[in-house]
Amino acid sequence: MAALADDVKDACVLNNPPKQQGTLPKLSLVFKTAASRSSAEQPRSTTPPPSDQLHIASQLTTASAILWDQRYTTRPPPTRLRPTHAGTLSVPVRTDSSISIRELSDPSNPNTIPVVPVMDNRRTPSSFQQLEKLGEGTYATVFKGRNRQTGELVALKEIHLDSEEGTPSTAIREISLMKELKHENIVLLHDVIHTENKLMLVFEYMDRDLKRYMDSKGDRGALDPATIKSFMYQLLRGIAFCHENRVLHRDLKPQNLLINTSGQLKLADFGLARAFGIPVNTFSNEVVTLWYRAPDVLLGSRTYNTSIDIWSAGCIMAEMYTGRPLFPGTTNEDQLQKIFRLMGTPSEESWRGISQLPEYKPNFPVYATTDLGEILRDVDANGLDLLRSMLRLRPDQRISAQQALEHPWFHDLPLRQEDVARNAHLAQQQQQQHQQQQMGYQMQPTY
């Protein structure tokens, strides 16, 4: 459970999004899911929260996530979520008592905050027919399935629950975040079904992941430039939406990018994703598959930000051009060596503060920077410029997802042109509404 306690130090800020990368605002409401801690030393108010905050709380709490605000509770935060019987979750606390979801949402209890019901009681695992196994991960098995009532194809992610360990923190995280992240480039979570011994996540069905797409459609894994540009634009659009909503994906790789028959790309597998709030948050450095892990994370940084997802996106872009991973390291140290061999070995002069990172070694082999154009000959000048902007060694110098979407490389992409036209139309509508409001104010009689 020690790993769980470390995993759940999420700080999810729910309003006032940051205006630029690296500038993160102050917390307003914080949700925490399962943390083993003693009660706060300083006394807390027992006064119930204002009704408007109760309303916000009830709206934003998602399956397997409890919205918790230190100001308004006299109990310590729950240690974990554990199944009792179908349709409910119990929350063991340090007093060894269990509080059901129904009790937590009891409005007559001034020390609790309303919680959205965990599942839709109208659906059960038997509502879906399992067709074939699509994959198996550390804590879940994914099946292709069919909704027996509608015939719709779905992906069924089954998570078997341990009677002692309870719900895996990765599942809690994924459910909590994906209930809020609704975007055309993020896979849609349809439903969450909870039974006595398993949790089933029902996702929209996508035909294959990017890795399988490259293997089947590519020339020895390499894709054509037009397809790469379309996929990169969609990838960055999904990343930008996550970052705008203060979520780091932290595990971007071809296997976690899903493609449908229409060529639409969607981000998936948010099991390692984290909500972020303020720059001093410290996160685990055991994130992202090794080949797509940013150098600052490899060097042991635990105060990383949105730039780690941008590095991963750059690695994926290069891989789509060659069909091979850009930095296929075998160990943490080997991964750093491969990055430095291509991007050059950083120093305190080029990267201030690098010598203070836990895994930094002053005797790193010194390599000169190699031009990316020498190994990526099929990438045009604008594409190379974007790639260099994403693969900066210093995290504060990497381009943001929103800036990348506006890069000249995408200017001839029909998908971007549609976005620009749609945004212009929305801006025009907003301007017209504003003008109408102003006219309405001017026509009001004065007394």
Strand ranges for 195-270 from DSSP E = 198-204, 208-209, 247-248, 257-259, 265-267
Q: Does the annotation mark 191 as catalytic?
A: no
> Where do the CATH 3.30.200.20 domains begin and end in the chain?
128-204
What's the Cα-to-Cα distance from 191 to each of 118, 169, 170, 357, rounded to whole Å?
10, 18, 17, 42
**Which of 7, 10, 191, 251 is labelled catalytic?**
251
Q: Where in the chain is the domain with CATH 1.10.510.10?
A: 208-413
Full-prediction pTM beyond 0.75?
no
Per CATH, is 128-204 categorized as 1.10.1040.50?
Answer: no
Give Cα 89 distance to the centre of its chain: 24
Q: Tokens 């992941």 map to which residue?
A: 209
Give the DSSP H/E element, type plus range, for residue 389: helix 381-390
Known binding residue 157? Answer is yes
Please give the Cα distance from 215 to 220 (Å, whole number): 7
CB 115 within 8 A of CB 104: yes
Between 94 and 249, the more confident residue is 249
Contact 201, 189 (CB under 8 A): yes
| 261-283 tens-digit pLDDT | 999 999 998 888 877 764 434 45
pLDDT digits (tens, 9 = 90+) for 377-426: 999 999 999 999 999 999 999 999 999 999 999 999 988 878 877 777 77
CATH number for the domain formed by residue range(s) 208-413 = 1.10.510.10
More confident residue, 42 or 395: 395
- Which has the minimum average pLDDT: 82-91, 348-357, 376-385? 82-91
Confidence of residue 47 (pLDDT cuts 50, 70, 90): low
